Structure 1
């Protein structure tokens, strides 16, 4: 599976909407939604830093490594 983005979990813990976070981070709701739904191929460190600042969390609270299951 690889890297999983748990942005929705942190947003729920902080009771913050997608629109509110997008405004605080200065990113479009569409791009934030792509990240939230695990569709992003990359994330800039500056964006990750802004998200962590807005949610008062660490990068590890948002990003998780999930190894691929080998069949």
Structure 2
């Protein structure tokens, strides 16, 4: 599924760029593989654990609504 099918878009790329952080560094902080973060970032994720969402949002100092948006 992608954002066209679900209506959900992950703004991970934009948030990483705004914060000057790499996907590799986020992976180290959050404890999620780069592959799994890439799946999320490319709108191919079909599910995400709340604990992972919280960890990503903590690392990026953002709210869930800034990371995942409709449309």
TM-score normalized with structure 2 length = 0.90
Q: Looking at secondary structure, tell me which structure has more helix per residue.
A: 2
Residue 27 (str. 1) matches residue 32 (str. 2): yes
Q: What's the offset of the Cα at 1:28? A: 0.5
Runs ≥4 residues deviating over 6 A: none
Higher Cα Rg: structure 1 or 2?
Answer: 1
* Matches of 1:38 and 1:52, distance apart in 2: 17
Q: Which residue of 2 aligns with 1:53?
A: 58
* Matches of 2:18 and 2:31, distance apart in 1: 21
RMSD over equivalenced CA pairs, Å: 0.6
TM-score normalized with structure 1 length = 0.90
* Matches of 2:13 and 2:56, distance apart in 1: 12
